[in-house]
Amino acid sequence: MAELSDQLMAFTVLAYLAAMICYAGEYAFGKRSRIGRAASRQLVGAGAPVPPVEKVAPEPEKPSRGEWSGRIAVVLTFLGLALHLGSAATRGLAAERMPWGNMYEYIVSATLVGSVVWAGVLLRKPAVRHLGLFVSLSLVVLLGAANLIAYTPVGPLVPALNSYWFVVHVSTIIVSSGIFLIGAVPATMFLIKNGYDEGKRSFPYTLGRRVSDAAGLERLTFRLHAFAFPLFTFGALIAGPLWAEASWGRYWGWDPKEVWAFISWIVYAAYLHARATPSVKRTVATWIALAGFVTMLMNLFGVNLFFEGLHSYADAG
């Protein structure tokens, strides 16, 4: 069962990778006519910058190559999700417990949540498909990192983790991290699009050409964060301390993992504040959200690998 889980994981990464390539294909040679037009526009405007014209010409009804590429990417995304789910489930069965007892399993589960949320967003708003490139990129990178630096063979939980608060604490943090992960994608796209609209034409901003609805992206960013924030609050600042009290005798002890959870929480609170303050620009607020995600990554990788703490599941195998 454990081997099956590892094999499924390998195929999961491959599926996400293939999906990523197809999403990229949709970007690159996608709707030919439009890219061509954009290119010629840039040629014309080489001397005198021309403000970007974002009027989207009606596409021919027949799906183009890029369109097909995008559709295949979606199929591959769902395939990857199914394999991902299978890998996590078989791992849980092999270990006879929930599959979130160490850093490897933690990443596998958090990205699984991210993938599920992304699938949900795709089903409800097919128009945001172009974000898939970034979603699959982050899934591949995180899962790759999990396999390369954090892989741990299946094993039972150490007694310190054997508590139902552990299940509550870790599961809510995993779910909220997965949503924060997906929330970082429209945040990034919003910033790219915004930069593009301001006339920036260097590399990441060129991706903004395909993106239409900046305000919609920004709103999606906010909604994902507003959903994940209370969940994270519960997992990290209520369930975590409850468990820590029962296990270590103190509800809060400034252990490095606690420190970084606190930092993430404060930064995300700052994001919600910034977004609610009319005098703060939405781009600034969105940068804060991304900063929040960086602190989450820091907690996941940096703290587990560099600092010593009480969180024994943090050992990177």
Interacting residues with ligand HEM (CB under 6 A)? 269, 272-273, 276
Question: Which of 24, 212, 231 minimizes the C-alpha distance to 117?
Answer: 231
Residues 6 or more apart whose CB falls under 8 angstroms from that of 260 comprise 295, 298, 299, 302, 303
CA 1, distance to chain mean position in Å, is 28
Using the 8-state DSSP alphabet, how is residue 310 labeled? S
Q: Is 270 an interacting residue with respect to another protein (CB under 8 A)?
A: yes
Q: Of these, 263, 287, 290, 316, which contacts another protein (CB under 8 A)?
A: 263
CB of 269 vs another protein, minimal distance in Å: 6
Q: Is 96 an interacting residue with respect to another protein (CB under 8 A)?
A: no
Q: Is 266 an interacting residue with respect to another protein (CB under 8 A)?
A: yes
Indicate the helix (H) or strand (E) that contains 215.
helix 214-234
Using the 8-state DSSP alphabet, how is residue 299 labeled? I
Contact partner, 237, from ligand HEM, another protein, none, Cβ < 5-8 Å per class: another protein
Cβ atoms 63, 32 nearer than 8 A: no
The nearer residue to another protein, 68 or 287, going by C-beta atoms, is 287
The nearer residue to another protein, 5 or 264, going by C-beta atoms, is 264
Interacting positions 132-171 with another protein (CB under 8 A)? 155-156, 158-160, 162-163, 165
Q: Which string of x and - marks every residue 209-228 that binds another protein (by CB under 8 A)?
A: ----------x--xx--xx-
The nearer residue to ligand HEM, 271 or 301, going by C-beta atoms, is 271
CB of 225 vs ligand HEM, minimal distance in Å: 10
Q: Is 234 an interacting residue with respect to another protein (CB under 8 A)?
A: yes
Cβ atoms 180, 113 nearer than 8 A: no
Phi, psi of 99 (to 5 degrees): -80, 60
Cβ atoms 152, 102 nearer than 8 A: yes
Q: Is 124 an interacting residue with respect to another protein (CB under 8 A)?
A: no
Give the Cβ contact number of residue 156 at 10 Å: 11
The nearer residue to ligand HEM, 119 or 228, going by C-beta atoms, is 228
Give the Cβ contact number of residue 277 at 10 Å: 11
CB of 292 vs ligand HEM, minimal distance in Å: 11
The pair of structure tokens assigned to 79 is 């395939």
Q: Whole-angstrom Cα distance, residue 314 to residue 273?
A: 31
Q: Whole-angstrom Cα distance, residue 254 to residue 309?
A: 10
Cβ atoms 314, 303 nearer than 8 A: yes
Contact partner, 250, from ligand HEM, another protein, none, Cβ < 5-8 Å per class: another protein
Contact partner, 167, from another protein, ligand HEM, none, Cβ < 5-8 Å per class: none
- Which residues contribute to the site for another protein (CB under 8 A)? 155-156, 158-160, 162-163, 165, 219, 222-223, 226-227, 229-230, 233-234, 237-238, 242-243, 245-256, 259-260, 262-263, 266-267, 269-270, 272-274, 276-280, 295, 303, 307-308
